[in-house]
Amino acid sequence: MISVYHYLILSAIIFSIGTFGVLTRKNAIVIFMCIELMLNSVNLTFIALSRHLQNMDGQIFVFFVMAVAAAEAAVGLALMIAFYRNRESIDTDDFNMLKW
């Protein structure tokens, strides 16, 4: 029988994979995909909990998270275009103009 704990553990694992990806990857678009992974693991938690607690609030939060994730992705893509136009790259190793 699959209980709410299984969902929580699964989403914790996905969240950790996302965090790990953000920390280790170099390509800004891949970093964005990892951030989406983190946010979607949160959505999984909310839906599982909403069912477990018999409470619709969790599902409402999922919609807000989705909206925020979409807005962030849109702004992120636009910023990457701006960065690419100036520097011909979206590699995080090229984030090097601003330093100590």
Partner 1 sequence: MLENYLPILVLVGIAFAFAVAVVILSRLVGPNKPNDIKLAPYECGMPLLSSARDRFSIKFYIVAVTFIVFDIEVAFLYPWAVVFKQLGWYGAVTMGIFLFVLIVGFVYEWKKGALEWE
Partner 2 sequence: MSALELQSLLPQIILALGATTVLMLGAWYPSRKWILGGVVIALFAALSAGLMTPAVPEVGNLYSTGSYARFFVVLWSLLGALSLLLSLRYAEIHDLPGSEYCALILFAICGMSLLSAATSLIGLFLGLEAFTLVFYILIAFKREDSRGAEAGLKYLVMGAVATGFLAFGISLIYAASGSFHLPEAFAGLEQAGGMRPLGLAGWALMLVAIGFKVSLAPFHLWTPDVYQGAPAPVTGLLATGSKGAVFASLVPLFAALGPLKADLEQVLWLLAALSLLAGTFAALPQRNLKRMLAYSSVVHMGYLMIGLLVGGSEAHRALLFYLISYAFATLAAFGVLTSFSRVDDEPQEYADFRGLGYLHPRRSSLLAACLLSLAGIPPLVGFFAKFGIIAAALKGGYPGLAVIAVLAALTSLYYYLAPIVVLFMQQRDARQLRRGCRHEYFVLALCFSAILLLGVYPAPLLDLLTGILP
Q: Which does 2 bind (CB under 5 to 8 A by kind): partner 2, partner 1, none?
A: none
Question: Which of 53/66 has CB closer to partner 1?
Answer: 66
Which is nearest to 92 in space by CA: 15, 11, 22, 20?
22
Question: Which of 17/65 has CB closer to partner 1?
Answer: 65
Which residues are near partner 2 by CB under 8 A? 8, 15, 18-19, 22, 28, 31-32, 35, 38-39, 41-42, 45-46, 49, 53, 55, 57-58, 60-61, 64-65, 68, 71-72, 75-76, 78-80, 82-83, 85-87, 95, 97-99
Output the DSSP codes for the chain. ---HHHHHHHHHHHHHHHHHHHHH--BHHHHHHHHHHHHHHHHHHHHHHHHHHT-THHHHHHHHHHHHHHHHHHHHHHHHHHHHHHHS--BGGG--SS--
| Least distance from partner 1 to the Cβ atom of residue 85, Å | 8
Residues engaged in binding partner 1 (CB under 8 A): 63, 66-67, 70-71, 73-74, 77-78, 80-81, 84-85
